Amino acid sequence: MKKHFLVLVSVFLAMPLFSSAQQGQQRPASAQQQSARQIEAWVTTPDRSMLFSRQPETIPFAYAAAGRGGGGVPIVIDEQLSMQTIDGFGFALTGGSAEHLMKMNSAERARILREIFATDGNNIGVSYIRLTIGASDLNSFVFSYNDLPEGEEDFELTRFDLAQDKLDVIPVMKEILAINPNILILGSPWSAPVWMKDNGRVKAGSLRKECYDVYARYLVKYIQEMQKEGIRIDALTVQNEPINANNTPSMRMNAEEQTEFIRDHLGPHFRTNNISTKIAVFNHNLDRPDYPLSIYRDPEATQYVDGSSWHHYGGDMSAMTLVHNARPDKSIYFVEQMVVETPGQVPMAIAAQVRRMIINVTSNWSRNVILWNLAADPNNRPHTDDGGCPMCQGAITIDGNNVTRNLAYYVIAHASKFVRPGSVRIGSTNIGDMSVLLTTDEERREVVRVATIENATALPNVAFRTPDNKIVLIVVNDTFAANTFRVQFRGQFANLRLLPGAVGTYIWSAE
């Protein structure tokens, strides 16, 4: 009975009808302290007049009499409903990105890296990096760490060498780690060395059966050698886009092959070498949830697997929830999506991309969001030929020492600065949720009647509780009109307003 009573109280607070005098009677002893709670707002507008800009005024919470307005039911923040822990938000540091950064003078490079990876001031606090293991299609040329003359093999990996990464990726990563020593790093290979593949080419082909074991040791060696450089690889995706053979480089690996590779080679070698790096399977589009689920069916392979990793060039975000519901013990990672715009384009499509990349991704159980990629030049270079990406704009464009911040930069900023690693997604009202409506009885005014209505007006949003006990609410106004909306937290209300096409990140203390 007590539990039902508490729920009823919560319902009353969700849509209060009492007069201001009655409200005064309802306030707890700490009301004066609670009513002082203020919301800090950071806003981006599509006309670029505000670009992740801190608003000069804070917004107060108040009780219902002062907090009415905005129309419709409020966005109710349910801090008792905890979901997945967040690992972070960030970008892929491709070889091309690192190449551009290394060509900048040291002072300008330090300045932009601090802006991206530090959390103080107006810096955006990126907390997750994806590295390519060997070359990706956004490198100037294709390489691996064990390239050999045609016809030669090296099953002992005596010629393994991180030489190319030591020119750009590793020096940039060391500067990033000096800013944020706790940043998480995910590694992804695009292809095994050519001599391990059945077609002898950097594009397409598959891993030779007799090379399963040496390739597993190759990946272990990469993790170990990066650790010697002070770079810890937190997670590894086994193969980038394993059912896409159109990139240069690329390599096919179907679900059965990936299962065998993990079960009989990669997993055992991780265990033997005490590798704590997490293994994430798949690393491809949302239209193939069968791929990771089929690997999870193998009891020996699945013991080595932490979770699955995803892109959104096909399929629906709900595929991540489907996989989560099937195997809630496995993590979900969102590891790649290209977010681009025409340079200087107005309006900026910030609302659509924050809704898709931040709200929808995390609402479907992902622990992180990584966009593709950190940096390119004004012509989106470098990229490989015959399968590179000429449209892959960076989050920043680097032209010598000049830096332009693009759409992807602001998309990630709205989450990365305040939703720090260790934050937990919590409940918040969205479209389709049922809300409680309280009205007074027409005949007996002292009697309250209850009805439920389906919420059809809430702006897209997602909420988090941070490790330092703050609430972060990210809201998108994807309508064509300025929108005033209410937020409810612990029985208090705040009125917020967003221009059409704008995005707001709202932060307040939960103390």
Q: What's the pLDDT tens digit per position in 43-100?
A: 999 999 999 999 999 999 998 654 444 456 799 999 999 999 999 999 999 999 999 9
Q: pLDDT tens for residues 235-259?
A: 999 999 999 999 999 999 999 999 9
Q: Average pLDDT of 309-325?
A: 98
- Residues 366-384, mean pLDDT to the nearest whole number: 98
> Which residue is listed with tokens 């090296």?
154
User: Over the stretch 143-175, which tens digit does the pLDDT of each residue have?
Assistant: 999 999 999 999 999 999 999 999 999 999 999
Q: Give me the percent of the chain exceeding a pLDDT of 70.
A: 91
Give mean pLDDT, residues 367-374: 98
Note the pLDDT of residue 412: 99
State the chain's mean pLDDT as an integer: 92
Pairwise CA distance, residues 200 & 97, whole Å: 28
pLDDT at 71: 56
Structure tokens that stand for 435 in this block = 């809300």
Which residues are registered as beta bridge partners of 367?
Answer: none
Query: Which positions ≥6 away from 494 have C-beta within 8 Å?
Result: 39, 59, 60, 61, 62, 67, 486, 487
Contact 261, 216 (CB under 8 A): yes
CA distance linking residue 98 with residue 141, whole number of Å: 14
CATH number among 2.60.40.1180, 1.10.3720.10, 3.40.50.150, 3.10.20.600, domain 29-84+426-509: 2.60.40.1180
pTM of the model: 0.92
The pLDDT tens digits of the residues spanning 88-141 come to: 999 999 999 999 999 999 999 999 999 999 999 999 999 999 999 999 999 999
Other CB atoms within a 10 A radius of the CB of residue 499 amount to 18
Nearest Cα neighbor of 459 from 481, 483, 437, 480 is 483
Q: What is the mean pLDDT of residues 489-503?
A: 96
Judged against a pLDDT cut of 50, whether residue 25 lies above it is answered with no
Name the segment(s) of the chain with CATH classification 2.60.40.1180.
Answer: 29-84+426-509
Per-residue tokens: 467 = 């490790």
* Among the ranges given (22-26, 200-204, 229-233), the one the predictor scored with the smallest mean pLDDT: 22-26
Q: What is the dihedral of CA 231, 234, 236, 240, to 10 degrees?
A: -80
pLDDT at 23 over 50: no
- Superfamily of 87-421 according to CATH: Glycosidases (3.20.20.80)
Quick one: what percent of the chain has pLDDT higher than 90? Answer: 86
pLDDT-derived band at 451 (thresholds 50, 70, 90) equals confident
Stretch(es) of the chain classified as CATH 3.20.20.80: 87-421
